Amino acid sequence: MTSDNNASARYFTSVCYSADGSCVLAGGNSKYICIYEISQQILVKKFQVSFNRSLDGILDELNSKNLADGGPIDVNDDSGDEADFSANLPGARRGDDGSRKSRVEVMTSQVAFSSTGREWAAVSNEGLHVYSLDDDMIFDPISLTEEITPSAVRSNLKNEKYSVALLVSLHLNEFALVREVLEEIPYGSIPLVVKSIGPEHIERLMQFVSKCMLDSPHLEFYLQFCLEMLRAHGLHMEKYRNSFMRAFRSMHRSVQIHHDELKRVCDENRYTLDVVEDQTQITLDRK
Amino acid sequence: MYTSSGNVLLSPVSNRVQVVDLLTHTVRTLSCEARSNIKTIALSPDDRLLIIIDTENHAMLVNFHRSVVLHRFTFKRNVRICEFSPCGAFFAVTCGNHVQIWHSPGLRREFAPFVLHRTYTGLGDSVISVQWSSDSSVIMASSRSGTVRIWTVQTVDSFEPVTLSGHKSSVVGAYFEKITPGSGGRLRKVYTVSNDGSLVSWNCVYSDETKDDEQKKEFMDASSSAVNFFGGMGNELFSSSNKNGLLSDNTTSQAQHLLKAKWEVSARHYFHQDTEVTATNFSAANNLLIVGFASGIFGLYELPSMSNIHTLSLSNQVIRTVAINDTGEWLAFGCPSTQQLLVWEWRSETYIIKQRGHAYGMRCMAYSNDGVVVATGGEDGSLKLWNTSSGFCYCTLKSHTAPITACVFTNSSVVLSSSLDGTVRAHDLHRYRNFRTYTAPTPCQFTSLAVDPSGEVVVAGTMDPFHIYTWSMQNGKLLDILTGHVGPVSELKFHPTRGTLASASWDGTVKIWDLYKREGEPENIKHAQDVVCCAFRPDGKHMVTGTIGGLLSVWNVEDCKLLFEIDGKHDIAGGEFFLFLLRSGLPFPTLY
């Protein structure tokens, strides 16, 4: 037994702090990527990068049935395409003597957190894996009481109590519901609604708004939300800058994406118009 | 690889399935994972069920919309192709040199959702392709031995399976022609394409065609009653598909027509490409045949006239798979050796998508400051920029000649990459070009890279002379060489607010350098083992380092004191390696 073949001789080759600095993400020459909480030094979560048995180092116990004297038997090497490219040298009577690696080992060469704090990525032998909080809905309610139900949200919406409806939906923390409420709020009452949301919910609201903005056609509506949030709660945000960093970044990212898209279209239109203008000028001159 | 409803492309990547939406230009990966690399996938015609079969012949039945695994199943023999019938009631699987037809399962969870309908034999070598007729009553399979066989799905009295043999080498694809009303609702032609670049079209001649209509009708009635008698339980499914309108009731299925059919070669065509045909596909609705060659050339042909519409060289690697969408506009190609996925619109001659992975895998990555872009550096020396929201690569920068070891974004839109070819290159993200190159006075291989928070100073650590080089970002001049390490520099990180630099090295130390003070020794933090990684907390108060013992240590940056240690050795441990077993000379633990 050497350090090479010892299954416990795995180590981290890349570490990275999360955007808020509370956790450390670590990946190495193993199939696992670990997230540690730093202040209490506990393992929060362990991700397995891949379950692909075509890679080496996935199974915890190997089956001796798949192992011959010369190396691992490839299960699928009957008369397929692979058989056309045999590893043997032409004319060789014995098998291949080389101690070449036939399988790729599983390992993570680098991990990094996104600055928005909503996702992180890892580079492994299989490619780039992006793990995101946004894709799967996580039910994470806060200070729930019996009155806080989706039907309460809807009845409040019906009675035009928008800020109450928004608060209740934020308590429930369900994306679809928050989005429904957000889109129901009339444009004119955005400033009032935003002002009535307490500072303890404003970060959550920012995250939801920036997420909604990404794929929504109501760009101005959400931009108005962003503006009002910054206006109404700017001082609070400035004071607790660190805790708002993630929300700021995701908001910035959403706005930036829209800006880039619009800019391209606008530029294109402007240049096309310029060309058309010039062309008409030229034709007029000719006449 | 497979197109479903026309604008969505499925592409298996190692043991996962990627779904490429061609309209919105986004890629997502299904959350289910196969046990090993995927060999073939099949999507049911209603887009609800996906069957994934891997190289160990382990099949997964997946709800495509939810990507939930409904059932797992292992086929006994080597599976190459899986194909759903157009009516959705069956799917065909090639098992070695047999073809098996299974009843396709429903969406409800069952104990054993896969039920075998029939096994077809008679082909001499392993089966390469399977094709259903449009009314799902006839199935055709081609084999490596150069023969093609046609069977009926339900038992038809006095029907003998047809063998078409006219090729010299293995038949890559065999296709039914579309049944048009003009042909009397009967199958008229079959096309077979072989490995050596020849296409044979087969004519189907019906012996009752000369008889008068009444006799014909009588015969039809007799044969359909025979089918009902022999069909058994599977026939119920079949008749239910009839009711769904997939088959109109007044026409008899192709299986009964085939009773009186005689096959003859009508024409032979050759592609004249001097290389092997590696992949073919046929769009029956548009009569278009796409042929992919081993040289990376593809050809688009219109049948039955076999006129060449288009020939184009896509890459210099083998095209392993081709697909065509329902409207026949978009052709998709996959070249696994270069990890290329291309979608080509042949009418306008434009690429819809053109994606290519890193040829030998990735090595490093970096997020941009706003989290929108990810840069990855590959072993092939290329640097790629990916959009995180769509999952598409939008730029490839190929300036390095050796593997890229580290990449980093600066504040502005500049990405830097260090490589084993002895250069650090700065790339502009507006013009997508390499605008500055930093090199050391003596050739050396860079292993680590960092840029200071203001974006003024570039530092890179090396493999061999163990030095750290610092350059000015603006003019590319070498500012300083920091010496002191006695092992390769594994990682460099700048403090997020102060101008200090932490360097981790294999000599078991982390040194903290103050770049703006000329004199003074660097702060030295000693570890018990080689240090391979380090990172600062975003507020700059703590630093974490990792050693090859699997130990993570958290240090206070102010006074370089150890705060905590996390022993991650047991958390990260796991996974046996085949090769290590061999090297240690003890293949298996024995009982005695």
Most B CBs within 10 A among A15, A55, A240, hence the mutation to make, goes to A15
Distance CA B485, CA B185 (A): 82
The pLDDT tens digits for B436-473 are 999 998 888 999 999 988 888 999 999 888 889 999 98
Question: In this structure, what are the phi and psi dihedrals at residue B125, rounded to the nearest 5 degrees?
Answer: -135, -175
Helix (H) or strand (E) holding B224: helix B213-231
- % of chain B surpassing 90 pLDDT: 20
Spatial neighbors of B235 by CB under 8 A, at least 6 apart, are B154, B227, B228
- For position B230, what pLDDT does the model report? 43
Of B121, B164, B120, nearest to B146 by C-alpha is B164
- For position A78, what pLDDT does the model report? 46
Average pLDDT over residues B540-549: 89
The pLDDT tens digits for A220-272 are 999 999 999 999 888 888 777 767 877 888 888 888 888 988 999 999 999 99
* Domains present along chain A, CATH in parentheses: 12-132 (no CATH), 150-261 (1.25.40.190)
Q: Which of A85-94, A221-230, B2-11 has the highest mean pLDDT?
A: A221-230
Instruction: Produce one character per residue of B457-472: b if its CB has 16 or more CB atoms within 10 Å, e if not.
Output: bbbbbbbebbbbbbbe
Q: Give the CA angle between residues B315, B316, B319 to the nearest 5°.
A: 65
- For position B60, what pLDDT does the model report? 92
The token pair that represents B381 in the structure block: 């020396």
Name the pLDDT band for A98 (thresholds 50, 70, 90).
low
Q: What predicted TM-score, i.e. pTM, was given to this entire model? A: 0.72
Say how many CA atoms lie within 13 Å of A51 toward its Cβ.
Answer: 8
* Domains present along chain B, CATH in parentheses: 359-451 (2.40.128.630), 484-592 (2.130.10.10)
Look at A135-149, A241-255, B351-365, B473-487 and tell me which has the smallest mean pLDDT.
Answer: A135-149
Most A CBs within 10 A among B60, B77, B415, B566, hence the mutation to make, goes to B566
Name the pLDDT band for B155 (thresholds 50, 70, 90).
confident
Residue B28: exposed, middle, or buried by beta-carbon count in 10 A (0-12, 13-18, 19+)? middle
Please give, rounded to a whole number of angstroms, the shortest distance from the CA of B532 to a CA of chain A: 6
Average pLDDT over residues B152-174: 86
Cis-peptide, bond into residue A90, ω within 30° of zero: no
SS3 B465: coil
Contact across the interface for A41 and B35, Cβ inside 8 Å: no
Average pLDDT over residues B245-250: 40
Please give, rounded to a whole number of angstroms, the shortest distance from the CA of B557 to a CA of chain A: 14
The pLDDT tens digits for B61-75 are 998 877 888 889 999
Name the pLDDT band for A92 (thresholds 50, 70, 90).
low
Contact across the interface for B546 and A1, Cβ inside 8 Å: no
Contacts of A2 in chain B (CB under 8 A): 584
The token pair that represents B226 in the structure block: 């025979």
Name the pLDDT band for A74 (thresholds 50, 70, 90).
low
The pLDDT tens digits for B330-350 are 888 988 877 888 888 887 788
The token pair that represents A1 in the structure block: 């037994």
Most B CBs within 10 A among A110, A136, A243, hence the mutation to make, goes to A110
Distance CA A248, CA A271 (A): 34
Is the pLDDT assigned to residue A138 strictly greater than 80?
no
The pLDDT tens digits for B483-511 are 889 999 999 999 888 888 999 999 999 99
Of B334, B427, B440, B347, nearest to B384 by C-alpha is B427
Please give, rounded to a whole number of angstroms, the shortest distance from the CA of B111 to a CA of chain A: 24
The pLDDT tens digits for B251-308 are 567 777 777 778 888 888 888 888 889 899 998 888 889 999 988 899 999 888 888 8
Helix (H) or strand (E) holding A172: helix A162-172
Contact across the interface for A2 and B535, Cβ inside 8 Å: no
Distance CA B492, CA B510 (A): 9
User: Which of A5, A11, A76 lies nearest to residue B56, judging by beta carbons?
Assistant: A76
**Ramachandran region of residue B28, left (φ > 0), alpha (ψ -120 to 50) or beta?**
beta
Contact across the interface for B571 and A43, Cβ inside 8 Å: yes
Distance CA B136, CA B117 (A): 14
Is the pLDDT assigned to residue B216 strictly greater than 50?
no
Q: Which residue in this structure is represented by tokens 């931009």?
A: A223
The pLDDT tens digits for B92-147 are 999 888 999 999 887 777 788 889 999 998 888 889 899 998 888 889 999 988 89
- For position B226, what pLDDT does the model report? 46
Helix (H) or strand (E) holding A279: helix A241-286
- For position B158, what pLDDT does the model report? 80
- Better-scored residue on pLDDT, B192 or A246: B192
Window B:49-68, CB contacts with A under 8 Å: 55-57
Residue B73: exposed, middle, or buried by beta-carbon count in 10 A (0-12, 13-18, 19+)? middle
- For position A277, what pLDDT does the model report? 94
Is the pLDDT assigned to residue B14 strictly greater than 50?
yes
- % of chain B surpassing 70 pLDDT: 88
- For position B2, what pLDDT does the model report? 58
Distance CA B148, CA B154 (A): 19
Instruction: Say whether residue B267 is in contact with chain A using an 8 A CB cutoff.
Output: no
Residue pair B320/B333 in contact (Cβ under 8 Å)? The answer is no
Name the pLDDT band for B592 (thresholds 50, 70, 90).
very low
Window A:180-239, CB contacts with B under 8 Å: 214
Instruction: Produce one character per residue of A26-45: b if its CB has 16 or more CB atoms within 10 Å, e if not.
Output: bbbbbbbbbbbebeeeeeee
- Average pLDDT in chain B: 82
- Better-scored residue on pLDDT, B339 or B198: B198
Which amino acid is residue B98, in one-letter code?
A: H
- For position B227, what pLDDT does the model report? 46
Distance CA B448, CA A246 (A): 28
Instruction: Say whether residue A106 is in contact with chain B using an 8 A CB cutoff.
Output: yes
Instruction: Say whether residue B539 is in contact with chain A using an 8 A CB cutoff.
Output: yes
DSSP string for residues in B387-438 = ETTT--EEEEE---SS-EEEEEE-SSSEEEEEETTSEEEEEETTTTEEEEEE
Q: Which residue in this structure is represented by tokens 């603006």?
A: B474
The pLDDT tens digits for B515-536 are 887 667 788 888 888 999 999 9
- The angle, 0 to 180 degrees and rounded to 10, between the axes of the packed helices B213-231 and B233-243 is 130
The pLDDT tens digits for A194-205 are 988 888 888 888
Q: Which residue in this structure is represented by tokens 């050497």?
A: A2
Instruction: Say whether residue B552 is in contact with chain A using an 8 A CB cutoff.
Output: yes
Q: Which of A272-281, B249-258, B473-482 has the highest mean pLDDT?
A: A272-281
Residue B332: exposed, middle, or buried by beta-carbon count in 10 A (0-12, 13-18, 19+)? buried
User: Which of B369, B533, B587 lies nearest to residue A15, judging by beta carbons?
Assistant: B533
Residue B251: exposed, middle, or buried by beta-carbon count in 10 A (0-12, 13-18, 19+)? middle
Average pLDDT over residues B18-26: 81
Is the pLDDT assigned to residue B206 strictly greater than 90?
no
Query: Does the ipTM surpass 0.85?
Result: no
Distance CA B113, CA B136 (A): 20
Contact across the interface for A15 and B582, Cβ inside 8 Å: no
- For position B110, what pLDDT does the model report? 78
- Better-scored residue on pLDDT, B357 or B200: B200
Instruction: Say whether residue B587 is in contact with chain A using an 8 A CB cutoff.
Output: yes
